[in-house]
């Protein structure tokens, strides 16, 4: 018998173990983080939860505002995604999509400044939308502002993901529907709703979790103690009260609520994929894109674009006057140095999160036991609802003797940032990774295309685009991060967000506006680079895959 040939890294263990070890690592880091706090606390004051009116209010307000925010985000995202799906070629569409991808990584303080400029008491739109008794009807501070900001951050993300789901409706089905002359409602019922339904629980859970754990928005626009979320309460317990017991207890409550939601979502089959595979084929001109209904679509798209753009335009106008000066390399620019430092943390963080996501998903495909198979991907969502501050403080306590103001703190910042980006990266890669059809895989098996070659030939061409986007998310989230860096990255050599806070603290309002704008430009550039990087192979990838097919035949 012929001795089987083993291509590099073809043993299934190479796929299985790194992911499982990584997942164990995440669990370990999370439990060390929370555990260290628990270990420092005498007892957990769970009784406070129902004896203190303040804490009761915190829990119910967290749930209430997150529910509202999720509802509005999803209700806006679905019609928007449908409109964007119907009209695939209007000018500026790809730019709009890029902006929608960006929304998740815009630093809160920058976005809030923009939102205030538009919807605040002196905002551009306030006087216009509510000309009579505007102040009585509309007040940005409180539940209004929190929900508005959450919709601003999450509706674009949700619409982007819904759009991918709609685009993935197989073309033949679209054609049949078109031949049958199915109208708007029938299309929705027969094709679009099933596509949306598949990802709805997972997406709603993601948005709910993001709003539930929201922090900086609630702190600035919340209005006062009446609108405090759990994450804010945790922050306060840790920062001033030094009350580890209360922080740990609140963190546990938060993890229980979000954890059980995720458990339900995963059980109901969300595991399949939040972001399905992309089908880039251009659709023929669609019947439902030409009727009178199209004006409604135009209006929706235009309105949404304004909703997204106006705050950013406000930030841009405020920041522009200082840009040239702040960036001049001759002036020994602090901003340029801060940018370099930020990239030094953010690039590794992005890379780590992408590699970790790949390893975790790899383990999922080859695991023997179903429990072991689901575990890594489930654990990878932990960073979504373990408060970063709890994680950071706990790790700080656990590593205390070895960790001072040294640079190891900065490496830890990169690691925690990578961990926080992991759930998003995972969602972006999972669909495309799972979308490779079994036929191709079987053929690859027969031809012994395994391990490294399999990755090179089958996965890499299809994953290039999602990987580039994931990297942009990973790097972008880390670029704008302030929370973790404030805990560990103690240095008089600031990163961009730290610089922004330094400027704010010293009345440098113009400089701060410029730094905020610079951060926006940087993020936009990052996503543009990711887009160009992924576009080139996207054009050639059908050829590549065809090549593989031919050689497999």
Partner 1 sequence: MAIRALSFIIATSLFCSTTAHASELNIYTYPSFVAEWGPGPAIKTAFEARCQCVVNFVALDSSVDILQRLRLEGDSTEADLVLGLDNGTMEAARKTGLLDSHDTDLTALELPIDWQDETFVPYDWGYFAFVYDTEQLSSPPQSMEALIDAPDDLKIIIQDPRTSTPGLGLLLWIRHIYGEQAPEKWQALKGKILTTTKSWSDGYFSLFMNGEAPMILSYSTSPAYHMAIDNTERYQAAEFDEGHYLQVEVAAVVANSDQQALAREFLAFMLTPAFQNHIPLKNVMYPAIDLGDDMPEVFDRLIEPETTRYFPPATVSANRRAWVDEWLNAMTR
Query: Where does this chain bind partner 1 (CB under 8 A)?
Result: 53-54, 57, 109, 112-113, 116-117, 120-122, 135, 141, 216, 219-226, 235-236, 238-242, 334, 340-341, 344-345, 348, 393, 396-397, 400-401, 404-408, 410-412, 414-415, 486-487, 490-494, 498, 501-509, 512
The residue (of 195 and 232) whose beta carbon lies closer to partner 1 is 232
- State the residue for tokens 């317990």: 237
The residue (of 315 and 426) whose beta carbon lies closer to partner 1 is 315
State the nearest-atom distance from the C-beta of 245 to partner 1, in Å: 14
- State the residue for tokens 């019947």: 287
**Tokens of residue 367, six digits:** 């695991």
The set of residues, in sequence order, having a beta carbon less than 8 Å from that of 92 and lying 6+ positions away, is 305
- State the residue for tokens 């999370």: 30
The residue (of 231 and 288) whose beta carbon lies closer to partner 1 is 231
State the nearest-atom distance from the C-beta of 429 to partner 1, in Å: 21
State the nearest-atom distance from the C-beta of 138 to partner 1, in Å: 13
State the nearest-atom distance from the C-beta of 503 to partner 1, in Å: 7
The residue (of 121 and 197) whose beta carbon lies closer to partner 1 is 121
Q: How far apart are CA 132 and CA 16, in angstroms?
A: 64
State the nearest-atom distance from the C-beta of 147 to partner 1, in Å: 15
Q: Report residue 107 CA to chain centroid gap.
A: 12
The residue (of 118 and 255) whose beta carbon lies closer to partner 1 is 118
CB neighbour burial string for 20-40, b if at least 16 within 10 angstroms, e if fewer = bebbeebeebbebbbebbbee
State the nearest-atom distance from the C-beta of 169 to partner 1, in Å: 42
State the nearest-atom distance from the C-beta of 364 to partner 1, in Å: 23
Q: How far apart are CA 254 and CA 387, in angstroms?
A: 8
For the chain, the straight-line distance linking the first and the last C-alpha, in angstroms and rounded, comes to 25
The residue (of 206 and 232) whose beta carbon lies closer to partner 1 is 232
The residue (of 146 and 301) whose beta carbon lies closer to partner 1 is 146
Q: How far apart are CA 163 and CA 83, in angstroms?
A: 9
Q: How far apart are CA 289 and CA 300, in angstroms?
A: 14
State the nearest-atom distance from the C-beta of 483 to partner 1, in Å: 9
Q: How far apart are CA 229 and CA 227, in angstroms?
A: 7
The residue (of 202 and 494) whose beta carbon lies closer to partner 1 is 494
Q: How far apart are CA 153 and CA 102, in angstroms?
A: 9
State the nearest-atom distance from the C-beta of 139 to partner 1, in Å: 8
DSSP string, 226-262: GG--HHHHHHHIIIII--HHHHHHHHHHHHHHHHHHH
The set of residues, in sequence order, having a beta carbon less than 8 Å from that of 61 and lying 6+ positions away, is 226, 227, 228, 229
Backbone phi and psi for residue 293, each to the nearest 5 degrees, phi listed first: -60, -20
The residue (of 89 and 317) whose beta carbon lies closer to partner 1 is 317
Q: How far apart are CA 157 and CA 186, in angstroms?
A: 26
């Amino acid at each position: 018998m012929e001795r089987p040939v083993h291509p590099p890294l073809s043993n299934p263990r190479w796929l299985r173990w790194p992911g499982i070890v990584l997942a164990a690592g995440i669990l370990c880091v999370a439990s060390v983080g929370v555990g260290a706090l628990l270990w420092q606390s005498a007892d957990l004051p769970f009784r406070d939860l129902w004896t203190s009116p303040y804490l009761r209010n915190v829990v119910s307000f967290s749930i209430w505002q997150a529910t509202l925010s999720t509802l509005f985000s999803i209700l806006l995202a679905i019609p928007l995604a449908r409109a964007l799906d119907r009209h695939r070629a209007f000018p500026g569409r790809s730019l709009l999509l890029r902006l929608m991808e960006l929304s998740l990584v815009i630093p809160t303080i920058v976005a809030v400044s923009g939102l205030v400029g538009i919807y605040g008491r002196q905002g551009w739109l306030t006087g216009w939308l509510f000309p009579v008794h505007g102040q009585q009807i509309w007040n940005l501070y409180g539940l209004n502002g929190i929900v508005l900001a959450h919709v601003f951050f999450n509706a674009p993300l949700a619409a982007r993901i819904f759009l991918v789901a709609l685009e993935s409706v197989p073309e033949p089905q679209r054609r049949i529907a078109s031949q049958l002359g199915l109208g708007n409602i029938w299309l929705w019922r027969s094709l679009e709703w099933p596509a949306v339904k598949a990802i709805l629980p997972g997406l709603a859970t993601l948005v709910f979790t993001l709003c539930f754990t929201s922090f900086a928005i609630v702190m600035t626009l919340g209005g006062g103690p009446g609108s405090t979320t759990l994450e804010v309460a945790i922050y306060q317990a840790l920062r001033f009260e030094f009350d580890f017991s209360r922080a740990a207890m609140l963190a546990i409550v938060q993890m229980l609520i979000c954890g059980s939601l995720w458990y339900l979502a995963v059980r109901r089959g969300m595991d399949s994929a939040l972001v399905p595979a992309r089908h880039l084929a251009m659709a023929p001109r669609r019947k439902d894109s030409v009727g009178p209904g199209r004006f409604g679509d135009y209006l929706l798209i235009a309105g949404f674009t304004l909703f997204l753009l106006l705050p950013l335009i406000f930030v841009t106008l405020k920041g522009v006057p200082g840009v040239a000066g702040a960036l001049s390399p001759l002036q020994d620019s602090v901003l340029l140095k801060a940018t370099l430092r930020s990239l030094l943390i953010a690039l590794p963080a992005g890379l780590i999160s992408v590699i970790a996501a790949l390893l975790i998903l790899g383990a999922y495909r080859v695991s023997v036991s179903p429990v072991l198979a689901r575990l890594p991907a489930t654990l990878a969502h932990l960073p979504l609802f373990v408060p970063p501050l709890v994680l950071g403080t706990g790790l700080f306590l656990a590593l205390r003797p070895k960790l001072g103001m040294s640079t190891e703190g900065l490496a830890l910042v990169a690691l925690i940032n990578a961990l926080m980006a992991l759930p998003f990266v995972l969602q972006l890669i999972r669909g495309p990774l799972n979308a490779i059809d079994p036929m191709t895989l079987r053929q690859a098996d027969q031809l012994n295309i395994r391990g490294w070659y399999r990755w090179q030939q089958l996965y890499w061409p299809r994953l290039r685009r999602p990987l580039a986007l994931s990297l942009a998310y990973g790097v972008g989230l880390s670029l704008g991060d302030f929370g973790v860096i404030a805990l560990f990255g103690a240095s008089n050599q600031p990163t961009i967000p730290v610089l922004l806070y330094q400027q704010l603290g010293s009345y440098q309002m113009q400089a701060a506006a410029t730094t905020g704008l610079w951060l926006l430009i940087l993020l936009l550039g990052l996503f543009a680079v990711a887009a160009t990087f992924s576009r080139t192979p996207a054009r050639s990838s059908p050829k590549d895959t065809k090549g593989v097919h031919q050689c497999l035949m």
